[in-house]
Amino acid sequence: MRVLILGGDGYLGWPTAMYFSKRGDEVAVVDNFAKRRWELEDGIEPLVRIPSLHERVRLWKRVSGKQIDLYAGDICNARFIYKVMEKFRPEAIVHYGEQPSAPYSMESLGTAVYTQTNNVVGTLNLLFAMRSFTPEAHLVKLGTMGEYGTPNIDIEEGWITINHNGRTDTVLYPKKPGSFYHLSKVHDSANIEFACRIWKTAATDLNQGVVYGIDTDETRLHPDLLTSFHYDHVFGTVLNRFLVQAATGRKLTVYGKGGQTRGFLNIRDTIQCVALACDNPARAGEFRVFNQFTEQFSVMDIADKVVATAARAGLKVDIDHLPNPRVELEEHYYNAKHSKLVDLGLQPNLLTDSMLDQMFATVRANTGRVQDEVIMPTIKWSQENPRK
């Protein structure tokens, strides 16, 4: 099929593009390279330098013999995305093209407004472009488990049936996001559901947990086909941060008590889930929601795993509890349903000791590039930041 990937320069977008291309689909990627600009603004960069998307597209053709089309531009520019949709005519659209960081969205008024404008307007432009040029295409949108927050009831997959005053209805699950970024994703979900209900758009919203992992089968084909690994306090994940701290002899910085529980999955499973969604599309008018993760861990669970990983490598690592810069429950009930992708055939790659050992070895091989200044949190949810 013809697959359009928005955010093709990103951590998930580039490996996804190679995966679909390798299996024989006609693939095009879109990116405005804003993530690289955000990194420059905050003085951060991935642990290993990443070649430009243009370089990687050219290299992919040499390595695989397959062409990935590249459209450089901003989906917040309606004229641009209209032209892309009119020319490429995708059958499936994989939408990663958003500002992905909760801390970045909480850094200042400017970053909060930018996050909401970039994410919500870009998705709206896409929905209108789909209606105009590809009304039968299937939208696969990357959402987040953070839309739900941490309710004191089980988290269903997108929809919940309620009984109220003797009447019953099925409605979108109530959302309680924890940042302006997560709130932008809630707006996206509402807008996409509206398009499905009113325009008969077909869409799958993938509410994804925390992603980890360094490589895929395709990134392993050449060193310059790699994807990014962020460990900083803005774009890095908790597991990446802990691995870098352990590899460089630092204490692991647990925010608060470390009881915050979230869903996790391997990057290979992200791609597997996206492929399953594309190969088994939603029906016209259907807004389908899958909770996309394979395991649940608390922050302390992750810290303990990294301590054990370092010990297997002969290193002793301690844990330090910092005041939590975020406003979130640190001890809470968390039981999220996630069976729909398994029903479609998902075969999880779990966070095993061997997986952690492999990631740790890669991090240790690149410790000379670690920037101490970008690890500790400087963005706080509960007070005004100096940047306006």
Residues with a known catalytic role: 144, 181, 185
Is the Cβ–Cβ distance between 29 and 8 less than 8 Å?
Answer: yes
Query: Which residues of the chain form beta strands (DSSP E)?
Result: 2-6, 26-31, 68-72, 92-95, 138-144, 159-164, 167-172, 202-208, 210-212, 252-255, 261-266, 287-292, 295-298, 319-322
Measured between alpha carbons, how far apart are the two ends of the chain, in Å?
45
The answer for 244, left when phi > 0, alpha when psi is -120 to 50, beta otherwise, is alpha
Please, which residues bridge with residue 253 across strands?
320
User: What is the DSSP code string of 340-377?
Assistant: HHHHHT-------HHHHHHHHHHHHTTGGG--GGGTS-
SS3 19: helix
